[in-house]
Chains A and B, each alone.
Chain A
């Protein structure tokens, strides 16, 4: 997938052909939805190069799930269920992170969060550099450390694989869950329009080229499957980060068995 902000690990097989470790299971799960599965989930390790820090591992555990006939609103409820149950289970084990997991979780349109914390309206097509910079330095630090928060309705230009909102094409139906001020999950009402997705991929490929990044193979099979995909919504949740926040760990290294470097 030609995402401009994710670098993959590539391998060369004995016959000289190139393969990639998955940075996300998305490309392989959506075709299953197209084949007729209605509710699917997967817990898998995913791999992202050049990402390392107290909240980043180049190999981490991701839970990804899809529901047909649902939108991102249902995904947010899924998150409330899942985080609530996980928090209870962790509490039973004797961990007591200072969190208030009561429902409903706070929901803030990202436009509102930007206006309040960064002082500007990102609109439908913000400068991605400025957006990310202010998101990390202004918006995220202003989020509650003790209550879960959803940021939702992202600018249309940052939709990636999300569907635009029917009644407001300036924003996409994308939501991110923050817990303890840390990004835990990202999901959206999936874009099922083959032509629109191809157009966005072409744009992303151009951007990768402009940034001097390697070219990824064109996701032909994925785009093919999209033609048969029913309306659905999918979410990806970082399991290590969830465990980290619920147990009150300070670094992601503290919740995985083996870390390098």
Chain B
């Protein structure tokens, strides 16, 4: 068990059967009063954030979380299927659990799958991924300095904004934290 004085940014705890991560934390204490621990807690399944204030005596159950490196296999009606590349165990996550990561997820990509009490709850992509442009309007030569952008479609079906010189069939490096184009990958 954790007590309130163990609370700090990054600590993972269970509340009402759900795993939460302390995303912000502040120690607070009136000069003549008791210590209070003010937290922002992020639900690790839904991503929903809430504010809570705890007292010294409050206790918390540590969240039993594991992260496994897995490979994305395919998507079907059941959801997104991933495989442990060492033990070959497979798990499926729903579209909601995969969330925005699905925009940059392609077959055979290796990701980290987070498990809570043995059940998969979310995935995290590598920071940078490389994806093929499957559709783009023809480029306009020489127009590289204006900062103007155009939409292109990636092999995942997701559309992002890129500089005008990007052409269909090129491979792009994308930052999955921001979902933004980084650079062209020479192949």
Contacts and interface: CB of A to CB of B under 8 A. Distances in A.
Residue among A54, A132, A158, A183 with max Cβ neighbours from chain B (10 Å): A132
B18 interface: no
B100 interface: no
Contact of B33 (A52, A131, A137): A131
Interface residues of B, number: 15
A183 B36 contact: no
A128 B33 CA distance: 8
Interface size class of A (residues with CB under 8 A): 20 to 34
Report whether over half of chain A's contact residues are helix, strand or loop; otherwise say mixed: mixed
A186 interface: yes
B32 A136 contact: no
Interface in B1-33: 5, 26-33
Contacts of A53: 26-29
Interface string B42-60: 0000000000010100000
A54 B32 CA distance: 18
Interface string A130-141: 011101110000
Given A51-B35, A128-B34, A132-B34, A56 B29 contact: yes
A129 interface: yes
A131 B55 CA distance: 12
A132 B33 CA distance: 6
B2 to A, nearest CB: 16
Interface of B: 5, 26-36, 38, 53, 55
Given A53-B29, A56-B27, 6 more contacts: A50-B35, A55-B27, A129-B34, A133-B53, A160-B32, A186-B31
Interface of A: 3, 5, 50-56, 128-129, 131-133, 135-137, 158, 160, 176, 183, 186, 236
